[in-house]
């Protein structure tokens, strides 16, 4: 499989901070991803990962 050389390798994009613990809403207390987002992470495109990472920054700021 050829990767677009203008996109960073997908394994460098990962919001996990190794503080994994799901709350009562199945949201990780560390990275703020939902359980479904965690499960889907490896099938997302780099563009989708970047968008989600921006959303996660907003979640962190809101304390959500």
Calpha distance 2→4 (Å, rounded): 7
Is residue 52 assigned to a domain?
yes
Q: Residue 23's domain spans which residues? A: 17-62
Per-residue burial over 24-46, b = 16 or more CB atoms within 10 Å of its CB, e = otherwise: eeebbeebbbeeebbeebeeeeb
Is residue 53 assigned to a domain?
yes
Is residue 47 assigned to a domain?
yes
Domain count, the chain: 1
Is residue 6 assigned to a domain?
no
pLDDT tens readout for residues 40-61 = 999 999 999 999 999 999 999 9
Is residue 9 assigned to a domain?
no
Mean pLDDT of the chain: 87
Is residue 30 assigned to a domain?
yes
Across the range 25-35, mean pLDDT stands at: 97
Is residue 24 assigned to a domain?
yes
Q: What is the pLDDT, as a whole number, of residue 1?
A: 45
């Amino acid at each position: 499989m050829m990767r677009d050389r203008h996109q960073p390798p997908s394994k460098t994009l990962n919001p996990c901070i190794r503080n994994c613990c799901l709350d009562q809403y199945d949201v990780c207390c560390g990275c703020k991803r939902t359980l479904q987002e965690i499960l889907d992470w490896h099938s997302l495109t780099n563009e989708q990962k970047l968008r989600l990472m921006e959303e996660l920054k907003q979640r962190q700021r809101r304390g959500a």
